Amino acid sequence: MIIQSLVRNKRALIAKFLRLSCQLFRGNLWHYSQELLLETVGVYQISNVSQ
């Protein structure tokens, strides 16, 4: 019985960890894409000013 509950807890832990890491990954992707967008816009504005 103890082993079964441990296995069940392990599965729940793994699922929770996967969900958390997925959220973190999505958050980082969103953050990086925003930064990239800002950099691109900044470079575009600077190149327009220099012309």
Kindly report whether the global pTM for this prediction surpasses the value 0.85: no
Q: With helix as H, strand as E and coil as C, how does 7-26 read?
A: HHHHHHHHHHHHHHHHHHHH
User: Which pLDDT does position 5 carry in this prediction?
Assistant: 82
Mean predicted lDDT score pLDDT of the chain:
85
- Per-residue pLDDT tens over the stretch 19-37: 999 888 888 888 889 998 9
State the DSSP H helix or E strand holding residue 51, giving kind and residue range, or none if neither. Answer: none
Residue 50 has pLDDT above 80, yes or no: no
